[in-house]
Amino acid sequence: MSDKEVHELSICPITCFSFNKDCSQLAFSPSDSTVHIYKRAGNKWVKECELSEHGQRVTGMAWAPTSNRLVTCGADRNAYVWNLQDGQWKPMLVILRINRAATCVCWSPKEDKFAVGSSARLISVCYFEKENDWWVSKHIKKPIRSTVLCLDWHPNNLLLAAGSSDFKTRVFSAFIKEVDGKTNTDTIWGKKSSFGGCLSEFSNGRGGWVHGVSFSASGNKLAWVGHDSSISVVNAANECKMATVKGNFLPFAACVWVTENSIVTAGYDYIPILFSHDDNDALSAGQKLDVPKKKESSGTVSAMAKFRTMDKQAQSADDSGSGTGVHTTHQNAINQVQIYSGTKAGATKFATSGVDGRLVIWDVKSLESSIAGLKIS
């Protein structure tokens, strides 16, 4: 079995993507104001429809597996919840109340809330108000001091992790009485708090925008990656002991747990990298999950193929003969990592999207047998 599937979806960068529950459908945005819905047909993806409610670039999306609702957000300061009715996707109004671009969005585990990060230095936690038939929001503001770049929900549906460009990763209470009832309790991350309370705040001391954040399957560990070319993990079960690795790699843009002790990261090195966090709270140096292979020139490459490759690598005609070709699966930076099959407790496949317009689905088991000797110093 091949260790990956490569799908050429767009000639433009893929800004964000999300799968439905059984991964038979895919939503993504090609770096503009539209959302494309594709359906799996054998080994290919076939376009079904295009959603064009946003007025500016779509910046984030999330597909709720159980309710089959798709939420999108964009630079137009809006978010929409899309419902499939009679074969048509219908948008539902979301009252975000922000005056800057929305940057990211994610559903809560129970799918009764979703959170939207923004450049307005706040997080909008949204829930459905049945009386008015719309989604309303409550704001988490303090102590956020800059753009919120990434979000992830704790498995208990009550806590929310956020990374921002003020170099900090924080864990907030997202308890909403109208939605969660009386379920608010103390957690391993801190004592119970009213909505918006900051339970924990972390920094690795280096300084770097936090591009990706992820809770482990148990919710006891929190990982984040920063623009200072680092990955950090905090274990709340061990007095929030922190481990940080800054290796010989470029900054990561995303991360996700694939087991309770393993994290897949990806970013500007064009390849996914696997890190392990052991029972002693030690973080491994990292293992590459893609082996760059140099391609021998056959002399029969078409002009169209040549210029397409140059475009994906942002090369000019003068650069094409400099010997700096990219020989990895992704031809440019990876901007998102998402589990394709399985869960954070044990993923079997994960997917990545990139600036090269590619979507790649990686087989974890096949990769495990081929990563020996690829440790990063």
The tokens describing 329, both together, are: 């699966």
Q: If the chain, 377 residues long, is cut into consecutive pieces of 10 residues, what is the mean pLDDT of each piece?
A: 85 97 97 97 95 97 98 98 95 96 98 98 97 95 97 97 97 95 87 93 90 97 96 95 92 97 96 94 92 58 61 54 71 97 96 97 78 46
Domain ranges of the chain: 12-288
Which of 221, 201, 345 is CA-nearest to residue 279?
221
At the top level of CATH, the class of 12-288 is: mainly beta
Cβ atoms 29, 14 nearer than 8 A:
yes
The pLDDT assigned to 377 comes to: 37
Residue whose entry in the numeric block shows the structure tokens 């972390």: 202
Q: How far apart are CA 17 and CA 8, in angstroms?
A: 14
The Cα–Cα gap between 163 and 254 comes to: 11
Residue 215: phi and psi, rounded to 5, are -80, 145
Which amino acid, residue 115? A
Cα torsion 255, 257, 261, 264: sign: negative
Q: How much is the pLDDT for 320?
A: 46
Sign of CA dihedral 151, 195, 125, 153: positive
Q: What is the predicted pLDDT for the residue at 1? A: 41
Q: What is the pLDDT of residue 305?
A: 63
Strand order, beta sheet including 221-226: 210-215, 221-226, 230-235, 241-245
Between CA 234 and CA 151 the distance in angstroms is: 16
**Predicted pLDDT at 326:** 81
Beta pairing, strands 134-140 & 148-153: unpaired
